[in-house]
Amino acid sequence: MDTKTFDAVVIGAGPGGYVAAIRLAQLGKKTALVEKESLGGVCLNWGCIPSKALIAVANLVDEMRGAADRGIIADQPRIDVEKLRAFKNEVVKKLVGGVGTLEKGNGVEVLRGAGRFVAPNAIEVKGEKGEWRVEAPAFIVATGARTIQIPGFEFDGKDVWSAREAVDLPEIPKHLVVIGGGIIGLELGSTYARLGSKVTVVEALPQLLTGIDPEAVRVVQKNLRQREVAVHVSAKAKGLDRGKDGLAVRIEVDGKEQAIPCDKVLVAVGMRPDASGLGLDAVGVKIGPKGFVEVNERYQTSVPSIYCVGDLSGPPLLAHKASKEGEIAAEAIAGKKSVRDWVAMPAAIFTEPEVASVGLSEEEARKAGYEPVVGKFGFGALGRAIAIDHTDGFVKVVGDKGSGLLLGATIVGPEASDLIAEAALALEMGAYLEDVALTVHAHPTLPEALMEACKAALGEAIHALNR
Amino acid sequence: MDTKTFDAVVIGAGPGGYVAAIRLAQLGKKTALVEKESLGGVCLNWGCIPSKALIAVANLVDEMRGAADRGIIADQPRIDVEKLRAFKNEVVKKLVGGVGTLEKGNGVEVLRGAGRFVAPNAIEVKGEKGEWRVEAPAFIVATGARTIQIPGFEFDGKDVWSAREAVDLPEIPKHLVVIGGGIIGLELGSTYARLGSKVTVVEALPQLLTGIDPEAVRVVQKNLRQREVAVHVSAKAKGLDRGKDGLAVRIEVDGKEQAIPCDKVLVAVGMRPDASGLGLDAVGVKIGPKGFVEVNERYQTSVPSIYCVGDLSGPPLLAHKASKEGEIAAEAIAGKKSVRDWVAMPAAIFTEPEVASVGLSEEEARKAGYEPVVGKFGFGALGRAIAIDHTDGFVKVVGDKGSGLLLGATIVGPEASDLIAEAALALEMGAYLEDVALTVHAHPTLPEALMEACKAALGEAIHALNR
Amino acid sequence: AEGRGGAAHRALAAPAVRALARQLGVDLQSVPGTGPGGRVTKDDVSAARDGVDGRPAAAARPA
Ligand SMILES: Cc1cc2nc3c(=O)[nH]c(=O)nc-3n(C[C@H](O)[C@H](O)[C@H](O)COP(=O)(O)OP(=O)(O)OC[C@H]3O[C@@H](n4cnc5c(N)ncnc54)[C@H](O)[C@@H]3O)c2cc1C
Ligand SMILES: Cc1cc2nc3c(=O)[nH]c(=O)nc-3n(C[C@H](O)[C@H](O)[C@H](O)COP(=O)(O)OP(=O)(O)OC[C@H]3O[C@@H](n4cnc5c(N)ncnc54)[C@H](O)[C@@H]3O)c2cc1C
C-alpha cells in the first residue's frame, strides 16, 4: 500500500468537507479530499440542490395552473418525467463538476475511496482505483448523516422510498404517503402533490415542521389543504400492508387504526449522524450519546489532530452550517484564530410558501431573559406581493423591548429563503429594530415587509394600522 | 368658500404624500391629504405597481415558453389582453383602496381636488365635490413629476403612448417602437416583447440604462438580443410619419436616417418635476433651474411653512425616496430631529434579468478618494440560480482596499430587486466586506452570491477561483 | 437556539470586529463600545489593545 503525505486531509466531500478542503488549500496547505461516492455529498447529489431543482419546476407548474386568472391562455401543464429527471441530473452534474474544478484549481488532490482511521495521524483509503495509507498532522472528518429507517418500512427502492429515491423522481405515484411532516417530508411531499400525485402526510408529533413558529406553519398547512394534501398529525405509522391491489399504510390516530391505500411510501423521519466505519472509536475520538462527534469551538475532537464538521458534528443538519464549520476548522488548522462565533444561523424551508427563520423566537427570547416585542407585517398588504400574486404569509420580527435590539425573524411567504439573509446580516451586525426600520428599502420589493415588520414592532408601521 | 383648518396639510397622494400624511397623523397631527386624481399617485396608479403586475405576467409567460426544457409539457401561452388588464386593474384597486383605508384608520382627512397656494399658510382646493380654503401652519407639497414629451411625438393616446397608456395595456401592438432606453422604456419595452410584440428601442445616448454599471447593462442587452428586440443607441428620433399602411419612426444614427415601420410608439424619455398650477412662485417658494423645488435637509423650502418631498424635490425619481422624504418631513413638522441622513438609496430595475444597485460604483469610489477593490460572483456558479434555471448575471461589490469597508453593490440577475436590500442594510450599518463574507447565508439561496462577491473582494472566494 | 447568550448580553460587535478582537487577543466583553447603540467598533478594539500593551495595533480604520 502506497503512503501519501499531506498537510491536511478532509474525509467526505459534502458542503462541509469540500469547502474545508478549498479553504485549506487557499491558506497554503497541501490538502487531500477523500470521497467514497460523489463530490458534493448529500447536498449536491440528492439533497439541497436536486430537491430545489424539482421544487422550482413544481412552483412553475403551479403558476401555470393559476395563469388563466392573470390573462394567460394555455393548456393545463403535464409532466414529462424523463425530461424533468434529465434536467435535475443536468443541474447536479454541473454543480458536482464545478466542485471538481474548484478542488483542482485550488490544488486539492481528490482521493476516491472510503477513508478509515488507523492512527490519529493516518487513515487508509480504499477505492476502486487504489488503496493508500494517507498521513497528515491534521484531519477533518465531514462524513455527514444518513436517513433514518423505521421498522416495517425498510427502504426497498421500490415501494418504500427514502429522500434519496424520492429526489431521483423514479415516477410520479398516483398516491404517495409521506411518513414524516418535517422539512424534507413537506418539501418533497408538496412537490409531488404539485407534480400530480395525491399525497397524504403522516406526522407523529402534534404539529408539522416542529420547531417552526406555529403561525407560520399554519400558512403552509393552509396551502397543503388547498391542494388537497391530507395531513394526519399525532399519527403513528404502524405498518405497511402489501396486497395484490397495492400498498396500504396502517396508521394509528387517537388510539384508532386506519389504513391508507397508496402506491408508494416516502419515509422522511430525519437523518442521523454517520460515524460508522471510520475507525474513530479506535483512535479515541469521543462520540456523544446521540452519535454526534464531540467538538470544541474550533471543531477539534478529543483527539487534537482530528477535526469534525457538518452533519456529523451536531445539529442543525444544514448545508450552510456544514460549510461554515468547514471554513472555521480549515482556518484553525492553518493557524488562524477562527472559532464558532456566529450569532445567526438561518434556516430555509422550501415549501409553498417558503418558510425561513433566524435568531430567537418570541418564546426563546423570553427564556433568554429579554422582554420580547413582536412586529408583524402581512404580504397581503405589500405592493410587490400583490403585483406578483403571492400574498400568503408574513414577516414577524422579535426585538427586545428595553433596548430595541433585533433578536430574530420568521418569514413565511414568497422568496422567504432569500429574504432571511437581510435579517441574518442585521443580527450579525447587532442591529436594532430601528436600524432596519430606518434603512431605505427599494419599492416595490419583498424586503419592504421586513422593514414594515420592524416599524410595526416600534409601533410605527406605515402600511398597517398600529394597535 | 368654507375654511378648514389643520395642523398639517399634504398636497399630492403619491408615495411621498400619502406616507407623509400617515406619519403626521401617527405623530398626533390633525392632517389633511389633498389629491386631485387618485390616491397612490403615479406609483400606484400607472407607475411602479401596475408595471410590475404586467412584468410578473411577462416573466411567467417567458418561463412557460422555456418550460419544456425542464420537463413541462404545455401549449405555447397566449395573452388574453382584457383579462390581463383586469388583473392589473384589480391589483391597483386593491392597493389604492388600501391607501384610503390607511388614511382613514390613521384619522387623515382626504380632500378631493387640486390644491393651490394663496398664502404661505393657506391653499385653495377645488374639486368636483367642493371648494375649500384650507389653512395650516405646515404644508408638504408632493405633487410629483410628469412625463416628458418630445416634438413630433406628442402623446395622442392612440399612435403615441406615454408610460401611462403603455401601462394600461390598450392592446399588444404588432410592432412597438420605444423611444428611450432608460428604466421605464426597457421595463415596458421588454414586457411588450415578452407579451408578443416585436419591439425596437431607440436611445439617444451611447448606452442603455445610463448611469448603471455597463457590465450589468450588457447582461440585460444580451437578453434583449435573445428575444430579438432591436436596439439602436446613439440614435436620434427625428419624426413620425403617418402613412396609410401605418406609422414609421424616422431615426438618425451616425448621420444616416432610417425609417422604422411600426404600429405604436412609446415615448419614455423621462419625467420632469411638476410644480405648475401650485402657486408656489407667488408665495415665494424657490424653484431650481431644473424645475425641482429647493429644500434643506428637513425638506423645508425657502418658505418655512412649506415642505416639499418626492419627485418634485429632486432626483432620484423613485417611490421609496419619495416615501422616505415624506417620513422625514412629517417628523420634522412634528418636532422630531429627523433629517436626510441616509447612506444607501437603492435602485431597482425590473428588466429581464433585474438590475439593482446601491452605494458607490468603482468609479464613484475612486472619485470619493477611496482605493476601490472589486469582488464579483456570477450566478452561473451558484447552486440556487442553477436549480431555478436563472444563471445570467452577477453580484459585484465595491470596497475600500485599505479599510475593507463596503462601499457599494450592483446586482444583475434573478431577484436582484430583492437581493439589494441586504447590501443596503450593510451600507447603513457601516459594514466591512468581511462582515457580509462572514455572515452565514442559507443554502441554497440567491443571497449567497453577495457573500461570495464579498469573499472574492477579499481574495477568499470559495465557489470561484481567486486570481 | 443561537442567540446573544441571553440576559448576560454579550458585547454588540459585528463579525469583522469580533475577528479583529480575536486577532489582537482583546476580550470584547471588556471593551466599551462607542458605536451607535453601544456597538463595539474596530477602533474600540484597537484602542483597547493599545491600552493593554501600549503598542499601536495594526487595525484597519474606516475612511
Ligand atoms: C432531500 C434533502 C434536502 C435537503 N435540503 C437542504 C437545504 O435545502 N438546505 C440545507 O441547508 N440543507 C439541506 N439538506 C441537508 C444537507 O444536505 C446536509 O446538511 C449537508 O449535506 C451536510 O453536509 P456534510 O458535509 O456534513 O455531509 P454530506 O453532505 O452528508 O456529505 C458526506 C460525504 O461523506 C462521504 N463519506 C462518508 N463516509 C466516508 C468515508 N468513510 N470515506 C470517504 N467519504 C465518506 C459521503 O459519501 C458523502 O459524500 C437536505 C438534505 C436532504 C436529504
Ligand atoms: C411606468 C413607471 C414605473 C415606475 N416604476 C417605479 C419603480 O418600480 N420603483 C420606483 O421607485 N419608482 C418607480 N417609478 C417612479 C415613481 O412612480 C415615482 O418616483 C413616484 O410616484 C413619485 O412619488 P411622488 O409622491 O413624488 O409623486 P406622484 O406619485 O407623482 O404623485 C403625485 C400626486 O400629486 C397629485 N397632484 C398633482 N398636483 C396636484 C395638486 N395641485 N393638487 C392635488 N394633487 C395634485 C397627482 O394627481 C398625483 O396623484 C415609476 C414611474 C413610472 C411612470
Q: Which residue has the cell 404586467?
A: B54
Residues of C in contact with B369 (CB under 8 A): 63
**Interatomic CA distance for residues B427 and B415, integer angstroms:** 19
**The ligand 2 atom nearest the CA atom of B350:** 8
What is the reported pLDDT for C52? 60
Other C-beta atoms lying within 10 Å of the C-beta of residue B429: 25
**Residue labelled with grid coordinates 423621462:** B270
Is the minimum CB–CB distance between B447 and chain A shorter than 8 Å?
A: yes
Give the three cell numbers for residue A176.
404517495
* pLDDT for the residue numbered A293: 98
> What count of other Cβ atoms lies within 10 Å of the Cβ of residue A27?
17
Q: Which ligand is nearest to the CA of A36?
A: 1
Chain A residues touching residue C45 (CB < 8 angstroms): none
**Residues 26-45 in C contacting B (C-alpha not used; CB under 8 Å):** 35, 42
CB B90 within 8 A of CB B99: no
| Nearest alpha-carbon partner for B163 in B138, B145, B136 | B145
- C62 lies within 8 A of chain A by CB: no
- Distances, alpha carbon B40 to alpha carbons A61, B37, B108, in Å: 34, 9, 14
Quick: pLDDT tens for B99-149. 999 999 999 999 999 999 999 999 999 999 999 999 999 999 999 999 999
Of B146, B400, B90, the residue nearest B273 (C-alpha): B146
Q: What is the pLDDT of residue C9?
A: 61
Angle among Cα A279, A280, A281 to the nearest 5 degrees reads 95
Rounded Cα distance, A317 and A309, in Å = 11
> In the prediction, which pLDDT does B29 show?
98
Q: Return the amino acid letter for A24.
A: L
For residue C53, name the pLDDT band (cuts at 50, 70, 90).
low
Rounded CA-CA distance A235/A222 in Å is: 19
For residue C15, the chain B residue with the least C-alpha distance is B435
Of the ligands numbered here, which is closest to the C-alpha atom of A34? 1
Q: Percent of chain B scored above 90 by pLDDT?
A: 97
Q: What is the mean pLDDT of residues A266-294?
A: 95
Chain C touching partners, 3 or more CB pairs below 8 A: A, B
Q: Which residue has the cell 463595539?
A: C40
Nearest alpha carbon to residue A69 among A310, A328, A388: A388
Pairing of strands B130-135, B122-127: antiparallel
Q: Is A158 on the interface with B (CB under 8 A)?
A: no
Q: How far apart are CA A370 and CA A372, in angstroms?
A: 6
Nearest ligand to residue A116 Cα: 1
Which tens digit of pLDDT belongs to each residue from A39-84?
A: 999 999 999 999 999 999 999 999 999 999 999 999 889 999 999 9
CB of B11 closer than 6 angstroms to any ligand 2 atom: yes
pTM over 0.95: yes
Query: Which of B389, B432, B444 lies closest to B413, judged by CA?
Result: B389
- Whether B51 is in the pocket of ligand 2, judged by its Cβ within 6 Å, is yes
**At residue A202, does pLDDT exceed 90?**
yes
Task: Check: CB of residue A449 under 8 Å from CB of residue B353.
Answer: no
Is B440's CB within 8 Å of A321's CB? yes
Q: What is the residue-averaged pLDDT of chain B?
A: 97
pLDDT mean over A363-372: 96
CB count, 10 Å around CB of A112? Answer: 18
| CA R_g for chain C | 12
- The residue-averaged pLDDT of B8-31 equals 98
CB-based contact B74 A71, cutoff 8 Å: no
Check: CB of residue B293 under 8 Å from CB of residue B280.
Answer: yes
Interface B-C, measured as beta-carbon pairs within 8 A, has a size of: 32
- Find, in chain A, the residue whose alpha carbon is nearest to that of C1: A360
Q: Which atom of ligand 1 is nearest to the CA of A278?
A: 41
**Is the minimum distance from the CB of B329 to ligand 2 under 6 angstroms?**
no
Contacts B408 to C, Cβ<8 Å: none
What pLDDT score does A245 carry? 86
Residue type, B223: N
A329 Cβ below 6 A of ligand 1? no
> Looking at the predicted structure, is the pLDDT value of residue A121 above 60?
yes
What's the confidence (pLDDT) of residue C1?
Answer: 30
Instruction: Give nearest CA residue, ligand 1 atom 37.
Output: A143
Determine which one of B232, B441, B443, B463 is catalytic.
Answer: B443
Chains touching B (3+ CB pairs < 8 Å): A, C
Q: Residue C6's pLDDT band (boundaries 50, 70, 90)? A: very low
**Contact between A425 and B439 using a beta-carbon 8 Å cutoff:** yes
In this structure, which amino acid lies at residue C46? S
Q: Which residue is closest to B339 within chain A, CA to CA?
A: A438
Distance B139 CA to ligand 1 centre (A): 61
Rounded-to-integer distance, Cα B14 and Cα B39, Å: 7
Given this model, what pLDDT does residue C57 score?
44
What is the reported pLDDT for C63? 37
Residues of chain C contacting residue B402, judged by C-beta atoms under 8 Å apart = 60, 63
Q: Where does the pLDDT of residue A467 fall: very low under 50, low under 70, confident under 90, or very high at 90 and above?
A: confident
Confidence label for B152 from pLDDT (cuts 50, 70 and 90) = very high
Placement of cell 418558510 in the chain: A355
CA A139 to chain centre: 25
From CA A447, how far away is CA B99, in angstroms rounded?
19
- Which residue of A15, A71, A342 is in closest CB contact with B81? A71
Ligand 2 contact, B39 CB (< 6 A): no
**H helix or E strand, kind and range, residue A308:** strand A306-308
Q: What is the mean pLDDT of residues C9-29?
A: 91
Contact A79 B86 (CB under 8 A): no
Distance CA A450, CA A459 (A): 14
Averaged pLDDT, A133-156: 97
Q: What is the pLDDT of residues A165-189, one digit of tens each?
A: 999 999 999 999 999 999 999 999 9
A89 CA from centroid of ligand 1 (Å): 17
Grid coordinates of C51: 491600552
Q: Measured between CB atoms, does B380 come within 8 Å of chain A? A: no
What would the pLDDT profile of B222-269 be if each residue is shown by its tens digit? 999 999 999 999 999 999 999 988 999 999 999 999 999 999 999 999
B156-175 pLDDT, tens digit each: 989 999 999 999 999 999 99
**Residue C41: its H or E element:** none
| Residue B441 bears catalytic tag | no
Show the CA angle centred on residue A185, arms to residues A183 and A189, nearest 5°.
Answer: 120
Q: Determine the pLDDT at residue B274.
A: 87
Name the β-bridge partners of B31: B8
pLDDT tens track for B270-327? 999 989 899 999 999 999 999 999 999 999 999 999 999 999 999 999 999 999 999 9
- Collect all residues with Cβ–Cβ distance below 8 Å to A41 and sequence separation of at least 6: A12, A13, A14, A15, A16, A17, A18, A35, A47, A142, A144
DSSP element (H, E) containing A435: helix A433-438
Per-residue pLDDT tens over the stretch B59-101: 999 999 999 999 999 988 999 999 999 999 999 999 999 999 9
Residues B233, B214: Cα–Cα separation, whole Å: 14
Q: What is the Å distance from ligand 2's center to B310 Cα?
A: 8
Query: What's the pLDDT band for B1 if we cut at 50, 70, 90?
Result: confident
Q: Which ligand is nearest to the CA of A314?
A: 1
- The answer to whether the CB of A406 is under 6 A from ligand 1 is no
CA distance to B7, B62, B194, B413, per residue, from B68 (Å):
61, 12, 17, 22
Q: What are phi and psi of B243, to 5 degrees?
A: -100, 180
CA distance B182 to B266: 12
pLDDT in tens, B364-417: 999 999 999 999 999 999 999 999 999 999 999 999 999 999 999 999 999 999
Q: Whose alpha carbon is nearest atom 45 of ligand 2?
A: B12
pLDDT for B276 equals 85
Looking at every residue in chain A, the average pLDDT score rounds to: 97
Task: Give the minimum alpha-carbon distance from B332 to chain C in angstroms, rounded to a whole number.
Answer: 22
Tell me what the mean pLDDT of segment A433-448 comes to.
Answer: 98
Please say whether the beta carbons of A429 and B431 come within 8 A. Answer: yes
Q: Which residue has the least CA distance to atom 30 on ligand 2?
A: B144
* A386 φ, ψ (degrees, to nearest 5): -70, -40
Grid cell of A315 as nine digits: 445539529
Instruction: Check if B43 has its Cβ closer than 6 Å to any atom of ligand 2.
Output: yes
| Segment holding B54, helix H or strand E | helix B48-65
Cβ burial A5-26 (10 Å sphere, 16+ → b, else e): ebbbbbbbbbbbbbbbbbbbbb
Amino acid type, B39: L
